[in-house]
Amino acid sequence: MANGTEDEYAEFDEQAVTATLEASRQPFEGRDSRAVTEISATDGGELELRASCISVTSGNHRVCLKLPLGIGQVCIPLPFDLPNGTAVRACLSIRTKWGIPTGVCVKLYVAGEQIASKCFP
C-alpha cells in the first residue's frame, strides 16, 4: 500500500454509497416533515447501513481510505502486531438520521476478526 512514506488511498464504490443513501431515505419518501404532529420512537433515531467492503493492504501500520460525504482522505492506525502488507477488509457504513446523512463508519477486519472501528464525524 505504501511506497516509502507515500500513502495510497483506497476508495469505496461510489454507486454502492449512492444506493445506500437512497435506501436510508426510503422510509421518509412522500412525507412532509412539517406536517408531522407526533414523532414515533421507531421513526426517528440514527440508522447505520453498510454500503461497501473493499480489500486493501496495510502500510506504515495503517490503512488509508478516501471517504464519501465530503469527509475526504483518512488513515486509520492498525494494531502494532500486524505487519505491513497485511490483507485488510475495510467496510464502510453510512449513518443517517431521518434519511439525512450524518456521517460514516469504517470497520477493519483481518482474517474475519474486527481489528478497528472509526466513525466520522
Per-residue pLDDT in tens (0 to 9) along the chain, 121 residues = 444 457 899 999 999 999 999 999 988 776 565 555 555 656 667 899 999 999 999 999 999 999 999 999 999 999 988 999 999 999 999 999 988 999 999 999 999 999 999 999 8
Task: Judge contact between 62 and 76, C-beta under 8 A.
Answer: yes
Q: Is 53 part of any domain?
A: yes
Task: Identify which of 72, 121, 100, 48 has the alpha carbon closest to the alpha carbon of residue 64.
Answer: 72
Q: Is 80 part of any domain?
A: yes
pTM metric for this prediction: 0.83
**Cα gap 27→98, rounded to integer Å:** 8
Task: Identify which of 34, 28, 13 has the alpha carbon closest to the alpha carbon of residue 94.
Answer: 13
Domain that includes residue 110, residue range: 10-26+43-120
Residue with cell 421507531: 42
Q: Report the number of distinct structural domains present in the chain.
A: 1
Q: Is 110 part of any domain?
A: yes
